[in-house]
Structure 1
C-alpha cells in the first residue's frame, strides 16, 4: 500500500536532528511532495543545515500551514495535546512521527525496544551481537541516528530504541520482535497518569510477531496479544532467567545455561536483566547468538551509562548522566561495589517526578548527597548528608579535597539536563572533563 499517493503537502513541526531527517527523507524518496518546517524556537538547532528550498517558520505556530497540510510530521518532543495540533487533527489532518514514516518504507526485519530504563543498552548490545553474527544492522531511533537516516536497501536488520513519545505517533510499525523492559515513573510532565504513559509504551506490540516482557514487572504485559510471548526474570524461573549451576550463576535460555554472569564486563544487576533481554530478542529473531557470545562478554556498555571515566589514587569517577529518572538512578545504585564513600550528584529538571523512592536506598549507603541544578532542592530531604550547590562544578570543587581511596564520585542525577546543559550527553561530557581536572 502506497500511503504517499494522496500526500502533496507536508508540514514538519520541530526541527533538530529528527526534523532534519524527515526533510531529507521526503526530498530523497518523495521529491514530488512539498515540505514546510515550523519550530516555536527562535533559533532551532539544525536550521543552518536546512535545504534552501524548504520554507521555514520559527518562533511560533503557523496554523494556516497546519490546516492546509495533507500530513503533519511532529517531533517526539512536542506533545500531541498542544492546542494547535489538536485543532489541526479536528479538521482531519493526519499527524504522525518519523517512526511512522519509517514503518511505511522498510520491509526488512525490525527489532524494537522500549521501557523506562535500559532500552539504550539493550538496543546497542542487540545491534552489536547481530553484527557479530554477520548481519548488516541499522541501529538507532531514540538512540544515536534517527530511524529515517538508517534506511538502506542493503540492511539485513534494523534495531530501534523507541520512546513513549515516538510510539504515540506510530501506528503501522511491523516488528519481528519487540521488548518492553520495565515501567517506572517518568515524563509525568507530559502524561496525565502512569496508565497513559504505559499505554503509549504498549503500542510497541501493536504489530509484533513476537514479544519479550519482564516477568518481574507485570505492567509490561499487554492486555491482549495472540503471538509468541516470552518472559525474562532475575528473580524467578522464566524463559530467560538466571540459574545456579554448581555454585556459579549463568544466564539461562529456555532452561539451558548460556554464559556465566560473572564473565560479563557490564556492571550491575540491571545489566544482567538487559543481557537476558538481548538474547531473548535475538532468539525470537532467529539470529545465532550462541556462536558469538564473546560480543556479549566483552561489551562494556554505553557512554554516559555507569561509565568509568577516571580512576586515580583509588578513587573512581562514574558518569551515569543517562540516568534521567529515579528508576535509572536506583538501578545504578543497585549495581555498585562500594569500598569507601559514595559522593552522588543528583539534580536538574525533575519532570514532576517523586524522588522519595530514593530515600531508603540512600539511607543504606555510606553516602554524601550532592544536589545541584533547578530541582536540586527537592533532593535535600532524602539524606542527612545532603548539600546544595548551584552547579555540578561547584559540587566537585568542594568535595574533591575530601576524597579518599575507595571512594566513588558518581553523576546519576535522576533528572533531565535541560536547565544547564543541551542534553544528557553534554552533561556527561562536562562531568568527564571535570573528573579529569579534579582527579
Structure 2
C-alpha cells in the first residue's frame, strides 16, 4: 500500500448553502470538482492521508480577531463560522500532533476581511486564517507565525489584521496592485511602527509564470522565514495565479504550485481564491495535497498545459529579479514608521475602504499608542454607509498593565460621551470581549 511521506489531514467544506449568486465565480463547485478529483485519484486510500470534519467557530472566536459592527451575527452566516472552524480543525490536527500537516479546503474565503468588518469585501466577511491563528494562540500560547499568502490578489485583510503584530510575519506574493484588485500590496507597506518589517509584499507583473514565482520564493520568502524562525507556517493558498484563471493575468501551473508548496513546507494550508473551477483547481489542489504529503506529484497535469506557451518573457524575468533584490533589502532594513501622523505618543493613520461585494464605503481612523513595554493599545473609530460612528478598542496579547488600563479607560469614556453608536472591546490579556450599544 502507498504511504504518505508526511501524515496529512484534509478538511472539506463546500458551503452548499452559501453563495454570493448562483453564477458567481466564488461558488460551491470550486471544491466539488476538487473533491471528485481527489477521490478518483485514490488520495484517501493512501496511508497517512485522512479526511477531517470541520469544527464550528463561535462568535467569541471571531470577536477575538475582529470588530464586527454592529455584531458578529450581522456580518456572518453559519457557513462563515464553519469555514473558519474548518481552518481551526486543520490547525488543531497539527498542533495536537494528529497530523504533520493539514489542508483546509473550505469556503467562504477570508483574506480580504480586515480588522474592522462592516460587511463583505473581496468575497470575504471574516478572516478565517486570523481566526484560526488567534484560536491557536489562545490555547497554545504566544506562537510566532509566518503567513505566506500566494493568492493572486494582495492579502490586504490579513495585512491589516497583523499590521501592528511583530510576532506574525505576513508575506504576500500577488499580481501587482496597479493591475488588479485591491490595488494595494506595495513593498513600502511594511507594518506599523511597532512591527516594521513584519509585513512584506512581493508584487509580481502580469504574465509571471512558474519561473518567477519560484524565484521569489527562493530569493525572498525562504530567507525571511529563516530570519524570522516561526513556530508555525501558514499558507493562504489562493490558486488564482493559474494561467487559466478567468479573473487574473498570471501564468502559474499546477506543477509550479506543487513545487512552491514543497519549498515552503507550510504546516497548514488554507484555501483562498481560484476560479478556474474545472481546468485548474482540481489539479492544483491535487498537486498541493501530494506535495504536502511528501508524495510524487510529477504526473499532475492540467488540461491545456503548454510550458512554452506560458513561459514568462525575458523582460519579466529581469524585472522580477530586480524587484526581489530590492524587496529583500527593504524587508531586512525597513524604513518607517510609514504613512500616518504621530501626536502625543499615538500613531494614527486614516483609511477610506470600499467593500466591493456589499457596496459599502467605510471611513476609519486607526491609532496605536507607542509603548516602550508592549505593542500598545489600539483604537479604531469607524463609520460606514451601513453603520454610524463606532469604536473598537484593543489591548493586544502581551499588553502591559498601563495599556490594558488605557484600553478600559477609552472604552468606558466612549460610553459616557455618547458619540459612538456601537462600542466593542478586545482585551486579549484578560480574555474579555465586551460590547455596548449607545
Which structure has the bigger radius of gyration?
A: 1
Whose relative contact order is higher, 1 or 2, with alpha carbons under 8 Å and at least 6 apart?
A: 2
TM-score tier (shorter) = under 0.3
Query: What TM-score comes out, normalization by structure 1 length?
Result: 0.27
